[in-house]
Amino acid sequence: MILRLLFLALLFSATLQAATPQEITAQLQAGDKRALANAEAYAKANPKNAEAWTLLTRARVMQGKSEAAVTAGEKAVTLAPNSAQAQFWLGNAYGNRIQIAQRYSFLFQQICNPRQKVLACARTQ
């Protein structure tokens, strides 16, 4: 009985351990959905670690969470302004945000096209 409890305690504590940066990187490369949660936990546990925030930025970019990726990327660059990795992933986050904005802009233009008279849109000057 004691061995069983010890085994369960050991098993439970192993599942609570945070993933290492290497494990998170491997998860990201494999497309594992757990990478984002692990990167968030790692950044939360290491708030002054630029590598943690860079990993979180990368995970958010890869999961399509552009706004959250920009926030994490800016934190990473603030902590390590000379980090090429942090700059790279922040650039990716900005690029994704721009692409999303362009898609919405195109969609808005199509909906508000006066020739099609689909929707009367207010024009700003």
Mean pLDDT of the chain: 81
Q: Mean per-residue pLDDT for 76-104? A: 87
Higher pLDDT, 98 or 104: 98
Query: What percentage of the chain exceeds 90 in pLDDT?
Result: 57
Instruction: Give the CA angle between residues 71, 77, 81 to the nearest 5°.
Output: 165
Kindly state whether residue 6 falls inside one of the protein's structural domains: no
Q: Give the C-alpha separation, 112 to 120, whole Å.
A: 6
Kindly state whether residue 112 falls inside one of the protein's structural domains: no
Q: Which of 67, 92, 76 is nearest to 39 (CA)?
A: 76
Kindly state whether residue 55 falls inside one of the protein's structural domains: yes
Instruction: Give the CA angle between residues 45, 50, 56 to the nearest 5°.
Output: 65
Residue with tokens 């010890």: 6
Identify the CATH number of the domain in which residue 42 sits.
Answer: 1.25.40.10
Higher pLDDT, 81 or 102: 81
| Residue 72 host element (H or E) | helix 66-79
The answer, yes or no, to whether residue 57 has pLDDT greater than 50, is: yes
Domain hosting 93: range is 17-100
Structurally, the chain folds into a number of domains equal to 1
Kindly state whether residue 51 falls inside one of the protein's structural domains: yes
Kindly state whether residue 120 falls inside one of the protein's structural domains: no
Confidence of residue 96 (pLDDT cuts 50, 70, 90): confident
The answer, yes or no, to whether residue 81 has pLDDT greater than 80, is: yes
The pTM (predicted TM-score) of the whole model is 0.69
